Amino acid sequence: MRQIVLDTETTGLEHKLGHRIVELAAVELCNRQFTGNHFHYYLNPDRESDEGALQVHGLTTEFLQDKPRFHEISGEFLDFINDAELIIHNAPFDVGFLNHELSLIKLKSLDNYCVSITDTLKLAKEFHPGKRNNLDALCERYNIDNSKRTLHGALLDAELLAEVYLAMTRGQESLLIELEYAEPIQQAIANVDGRDLKVIKATEEEFAQHLTVLENIARESNNRCLWKRFES
């Protein structure tokens, strides 16, 4: 399972007003592990950043003037995300900007190159309704060190988001990974050489305790307990 955690910085809030991407970064996860592979570029947007955006990311026109333009790195970027699940915080924002950049160079929209797109902001709102769910708040909630995050930077934010995502989904997705290996395991069991295997069944008390644990997990995860679903 290959996942790409992605973030952008932009010249402003609305690509429909001609704003562009000034930084693009992504980090790779395989089977919920950091691979060490990442993609990162500062980009020349051929325009000024809004003052508000500049205060967020600090990337000045002077700094960006000798950087590549999006079309120069687009092939490398699409190769990096190819056939992966994209994980993005507030995905509509970044996807809107990326689709705008792709349209300017006559390429297809982002969903034509990746398997799927997961919005971690949407997930966080489901897991923690009524609470602050920006990246800083989630880092604090999951005890992830974000002390180096004085300005927004796409690469650092992508790395922090990857840690937040792993913490936020721990348990649920790890079970899905294990299920991928269920068939080989069952085959190995079937190949046991006819020996009698002793089966110890749970007592009624143990089974009741098991159901109580599943109910608690379901309540804490807004009915996202996979174990309970399989049990039923």
Range list of β-strands (E), the chain: 2-10, 21-30, 33-42, 85-88, 116-119
Strand partners for 66: none
> Nearest 5 degrees, angle CA 94-CA 95-CA 98?
85
Distance of CA 117 to the CA centre of its chain: 8
Q: Which of 38, 71, 128, 152 is catalytic?
A: 152
Instruction: Please report, for residues 1, 23, 79, 183, the alpha-carbon distance to residue 187 in angstroms, rounded to integers and kept in the order given.
Output: 22, 48, 36, 6
Look up 152 and say whether it is catalytic. Answer: yes
How far are the Cα atoms of 18, 30, 93, 115 from residue 100, in angstroms, in the given order? 9, 28, 11, 19
Active site residues: 152
